């Protein structure tokens, strides 16, 4: 433990680090918290190779997984929390329907250590209806009770509070957005091209190939309805997940295989991938935030995002893109408006970059988040 810390929060992420948005969130927030107050944040992981995969600034507590039971905790982790060897004032649990949270929340309740639950995704009907019976059982047995015992729930967008309230959640709820590092701009190779300046503009989705969650079936169908009028190319970059084959078949059935490219996972920094495009898109049926869109905004790109994504409110405030309903008709309408305003893309991109630098850096987010953590974790 850093001797300078008088207040310390632990983020419990058994799979850290991984190539996902939750890892990016925890890494960015914890580093910024530690820059503001050294030693104020640590990440608890159960990955045996975490130290090898982590980056220099990561502050980790590594407890190797000792059981295949997803609810079980390593015995030495239980011991250290019981004896409070690391001076932890509170713990943040991450992710919806995540079995490791159950065992940790039970232990924390027994020990009298407060915890905050950060689901990352909201709880809209679109999420609840996917594998509905399995999620209903898990909710009744585990998730509902875990949330009821939390000191608070942390969301990435205040607009998602209603979903939890509709499910009967009565604990305090607060929200802070995702953030980004302004220094990420240094990863760009040279000056990016002006958005919209290409003869054939490139629309870009960056994220996992998740048809239901990310609304990629909606995106491909909508693109097929506008590509005849506005000739363009749609590129989808990211982990293949389970849905790539079906999405490729959908594009083929719609006769647009030549205009849709599936790139898989790429080695370039995500901000570079976004900067190489003209218009960045996120058409999720539901989404906690949408960090890739923040990176696109920082890269000076105009964006088209689903109203169901937490980042949508920031796009409206920046006036740097289009917010659409997550339906084929809504996306088609937004795409047509975007193409017809193609001459405005450079100005929109500049507004987006300015907005991110003014409101969505990790330092700004971490300062507000630390204040919220103190509110719920420090003794009254």
| Per-residue model confidence as pLDDT tens digits over 116-127 | 999 999 888 877
Tell whether the model's pLDDT for residue 48 goes beyond 90.
Answer: no
SS3 category, 294: helix
Contact partners, residue 341, CB within 8 Å, separation at least 6 = none
Ranges 59-73, 76-90, 152-166, 218-232: which has the least confidence? 59-73
- Domain membership of residue 2 (yes or no) is no
Residues 257 and 149 in one domain: no
Q: Are residues 233 and 151 in the same domain?
A: no
Say how far apart CA 320 and CA 315 lie, in whole Å: 6
CATH code of residue 285:
3.40.50.2000
What pLDDT is recorded for position 1?
46
> What's the CA angle centered on 79, arms 78 and 82, to 5 degrees?
85
- Whether 190 and 112 share a structural domain: no
Which residues in 1-13 are b (16+ Cβ under 10 Å) and which e? eeeebebbbbbbb
pLDDT at site 4: 53
Q: Determine contact, residues 121/287, Cβ cutoff 8 Å.
A: yes
pLDDT at 21: 85
Count CB neighbours of 368 within 10 A. 14
pLDDT-above-70 percentage for the chain: 98
The predicted model gives 344-356 an average pLDDT of 98
Per-residue pLDDT at 135 exceeds 50: yes
Residue 216: inside a domain, yes or no? yes
Residues 6+ apart with CB under 8 A from 254: 220, 221, 224
Residue, of 202 and 125, whose pLDDT is higher: 202
With cut-offs at 50, 70 and 90, classify the pLDDT of residue 57.
Answer: confident
**Does one domain contain both 268 and 335?**
yes
145 and 190 co-located in one domain: no
- The predicted pLDDT at position 37 comes to 96
Average confidence score pLDDT of the chain:
94
27 and 91 together in one domain: yes
Low-confidence winner among 82-96, 118-132, 142-156, 300-314 (lowest mean pLDDT): 118-132
Whether pLDDT at 248 is above 90: yes
- Asked whether 339 and 230 are in contact (CB, 8 A), the reply is yes
Query: Residues 340-361: what's their mean pLDDT?
Result: 98
Range with the largest mean pLDDT of 11-25, 65-79, 357-371 = 357-371
Provide the 3-class DSSP secondary structure of residue 218. helix
Over residues 204-233, the mean pLDDT reads 96
What is the pLDDT, as a whole number, of residue 3? 46
- 52: which residues sit within 8 A by CB, 6+ positions away? none
Taking the C-alpha atoms of residue 27 and residue 66, their distance in angstroms, rounded to an integer, is 25
What is the domain count for the chain?
2
Question: Within 13 A of 266's CA, how many CA atoms are on the CB side?
Answer: 17
> Do β-strands 115-118 and 321-324 pair in parallel, antiparallel, or remain unpaired?
unpaired
Quote the domain boundaries for residue 84: 9-179+361-377
Classify residue 112 by its DSSP letter: T
Secondary-structure percent of the chain, ordered helix, strand, coil, rounded to 5: 45, 15, 40
Q: Specify if 1 maps to a domain.
A: no
What gap in Å lies between CA 183 and CA 31, rounded to an integer?
Answer: 13
Q: Is residue 48 part of a domain?
A: yes
* Residue 9 pLDDT greater than 70, yes or no: yes
State CA 252 to chain mean position distance: 30
- Quote the pTM value: 0.91
Given a cut of 50, whether residue 2 has pLDDT beyond it is: no
Instruction: Output the pLDDT for position 364.
Output: 97
In a domain? residue 3: no
Asked whether residue 27 falls in the same domain as residue 146, the answer is: yes
Domain assignment present for residue 300? The answer is yes
Contact 45, 58 (CB under 8 A): no
Q: Residues 187, 229: one domain?
A: yes
Q: What whole-number distance in Å separates Cα of residue 17 and Cα of residue 39?
A: 19
**Dist. CA 82–CA 77, nearest whole Å:** 8
Clarify whether residues 99 and 196 are in a common domain: no
Residue of 19 and 73 predicted with greater confidence: 73
Which has the closest alpha carbon to 293: 266, 319, 312, 265?
312
Shortest CA distance to 375 belongs to which of 89, 6, 149, 179?
89
Task: Please check whether residue 4 lies inside any domain of the structure.
Answer: no
DSSP-assigned beta bridge partners for residue 264? 237
* Residues 253 and 167 reside in one and the same domain: no
- 162 lies in the same domain as 278: no
Q: Would you say residue 223 lies in a domain?
A: yes
Report how far residue 133's alpha carbon sits from residue 87's, in angstroms, rounded to the nearest whole number: 40
Instruction: Indicate whether 355 and 365 sit together in one domain.
Output: no
């Amino acid at each position: 433990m850093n001797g300078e810390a008088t207040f310390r929060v632990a983020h419990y992420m058994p799979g850290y680090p991984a190539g996902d948005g939750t890892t990016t969130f925890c890494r960015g927030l914890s580093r910024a918290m530690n820059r503001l107050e050294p030693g104020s944040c640590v990440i608890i992981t159960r990955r045996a190779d975490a130290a090898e995969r982590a980056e220099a600034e990561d502050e980790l507590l590594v407890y190797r997984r000792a059981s295949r039971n997803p609810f079980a905790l390593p015995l030495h982790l239980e011991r250290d929390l019981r004896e409070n060897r690391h001076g932890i004032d509170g713990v943040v649990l991450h992710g919806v329907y995540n079995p490791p949270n159950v065992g940790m929340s039970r232990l924390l309740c027994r020990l009298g250590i407060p915890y905050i639950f950060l689901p990352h995704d909201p709880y809209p009907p679109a999420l609840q209806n996917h594998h509905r019976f399995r999620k209903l059982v898990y909710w009744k047995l585990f998730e509902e009770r875990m949330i009821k015992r939390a000191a608070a729930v942390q969301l990435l967008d205040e607009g998602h509070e209603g979903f939890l309230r509709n499910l009967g959640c009565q604990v305090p709820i607060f929200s802070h957005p995702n953030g980004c590092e302004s220094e990420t701009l240094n990863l760009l190779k040279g000056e990016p091209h002006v958005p919209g300046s290409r003869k054939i503009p490139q629309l870009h989705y960056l994220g996992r190939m998740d048809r239901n969650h990310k609304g990629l079936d909606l995106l491909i169908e909508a693109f097929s309805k506008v590509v005849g009028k506005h000739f363009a190319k749609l590129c989808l970059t990211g982990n293949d997940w389970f849905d790539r084959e079906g999405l490729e078949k959908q594009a083929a059935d719609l006769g647009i295989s030549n205009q849709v490219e599936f790139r898989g996972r790429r080695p370039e920094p995500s901000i570079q991938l976004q900067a190489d495009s003209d218009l960045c898109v996120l058409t999720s049926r539901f989404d906690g935030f949408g960090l890739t869109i923040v990176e696109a905004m920082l890269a000076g790109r105009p964006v088209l995002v689903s109203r169901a994504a937490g980042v949508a409110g920031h796009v409206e405030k920046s006036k740097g893109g289009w917010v659409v309903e997550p339906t084929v008709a809504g996306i088609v309408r937004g795409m047509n408006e975007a193409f017809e305003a193609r001459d405005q893309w450079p100005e929109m991109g500049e507004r987006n970059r300015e907005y991110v630098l003014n409101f969505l850096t990790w330092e700004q987010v971490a300062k507000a988040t630390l204040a919220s953590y103190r509110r719920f974790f420090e003794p009254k």
